[in-house]
């Protein structure tokens, strides 16, 4: 998976110059990762004030990915159906209807719930 790199800053952990790569996270906020050894991660997003302060210091970090929409091609016109004369056929004979078995009786209602053993101790009254 490739990400668009917005820029690089000095790593606050290991101190190497231009070692922390800044990309946009899934919310579009800047996110840093030290590529040169220590692997430090820097989450800038989460609080709008923190993002504003970071962008004020590094203006190039405000670049957000641009969504490009590609128009779909127009569908090809469907070919017109050719009318075909249907041959004359005799009407099909209908078979007599078969008898269905009798319907099953409805299920029995559920049994009433048994009172809990703890109900008297807890002061619960059942109807």
CATH label of the domain that carries residue 31: 2.20.25
Residues of the domain holding 52 = 5-62
Show the CA angle centred on residue 27, arms to residues 38 and 4, nearest 5°: 60
Q: Is the pTM of this model over 0.85?
A: no
Does 35 reside within a domain?
yes
Does 10 reside within a domain?
yes
- Which residue reads 């090809």 in tokens? 76
Does 113 reside within a domain?
no
Q: Are strands 30-34 and 20-24 parallel, antiparallel or unpaired?
A: antiparallel
Binning pLDDT at 50, 70 and 90, where does residue 4 land? confident
Does 93 reside within a domain?
no
Does 75 reside within a domain?
no
pLDDT tens by residue, 72-97: 666 767 777 777 666 667 767 766 66
pLDDT the model gives residue 5: 87
Count of domains for the chain: 1
């Amino acid at each position: 998976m490739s990400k668009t790199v917005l820029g690089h800053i000095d790593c606050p952990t290991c101190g190497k110059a231009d070692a922390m790569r800044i990309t946009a996270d899934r919310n579009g906020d800047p996110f840093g990762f030290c590529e040169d050894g220590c692997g430090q991660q820097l989450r800038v997003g989460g609080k709008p004030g923190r993002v504003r302060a970071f962008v004020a210091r590094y203006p190039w970090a405000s670049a957000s990915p641009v969504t490009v929409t590609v128009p779909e091609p127009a569908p090809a016109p469907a070919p017109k159906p050719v009318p075909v004369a249907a041959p004359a056929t005799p009407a099909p004979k209908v078979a007599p209807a078969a008898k269905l078995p009798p319907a099953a009786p409805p299920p029995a209602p559920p049994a009433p719930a048994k009172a809990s053993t703890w109900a008297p101790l807890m002061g619960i009254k059942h109807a």
